[in-house]
Amino acid sequence: MSEWGESRPTESKKRSTEMRYFGYTLANESTLPNEPPSQEVQEGMGKLVEEGFKAGVLVATGGIAPTSEGALITLKEGEFTVVDGPFAEAKELVGGWALMECRDLAEAVEWSKKYLSVLGDGESRIRPVYGPE
């Protein structure tokens, strides 16, 4: 897979007392670029992704396609409704994402700062992931 959508075993052993964190960047569909990221950003992200896998922090990472390529599924009173994208009302969208195994929230924040440093101005959010590995 490309560096924009990877999932592979880490090269280091799992560290004790880890928690999984889901980090994601936010995007506004009306301002998304029409071209892929610059070569410089792609190379920087590739190096950072490799560093994350080697450190045993990064579990998987990727980017999310525009809503025009997706569907909205709702359930109301037992009835499903499916609407093909795009969704005009979508104001905040998940752009890129990373599933990380970190000792604590502080470590996940530091890794997220690294990703934003490569991507440039923007916003990232982190949330703990509960459930089986």
Reported as a single tens digit per residue, the pLDDT across 79-110 is 999 999 887 666 778 888 999 999 999 999 99
User: Higher-confidence residue: 2 or 68?
Assistant: 68
**What is the distance between the alpha carbons of residues 56 and 104, in angstroms, rounded to a whole number?**
14
The model's pLDDT over 54-79, given as tens digits with 9 standing for 90+, comes to 999 999 999 888 888 899 999 999 99
User: Has residue 64 been placed in a domain?
Assistant: yes
Residue 41 lies in a domain: yes
Residue 6, in any domain of the structure: no
- 110 found inside a domain: yes
Residue 12 covered by a domain: no
- Owning domain of residue 106: 18-129
Counted domains in the chain: 1
Report d(CA 89, CA 54) in Å as an integer: 40
What CATH number does the domain containing 83 carry?
3.30.70.1060
DSSP states of 70-94: SEEEEEETTEEEEEESP-TT--SEE
CA gap 123, 120 in Å, rounded = 9
> Quick check: is 4 in a domain?
no
Residue 11 lies in a domain: no
pTM of the model: 0.77
Q: Please tell me the predicted confidence (pLDDT) of residue 4.
A: 44
Q: Where are the alpha helices (DSSP H) in 7-87?
A: 39-54
SS3 percent helix, strand, coil of the chain, rounded to 5, is 30, 35, 40
Joined tokens for residue 61: 């990472």
Output the pLDDT for position 9: 43
Specify if 5 maps to a domain: no
Q: Residue 102 has what pLDDT?
A: 97
Region 107-119 average pLDDT: 95
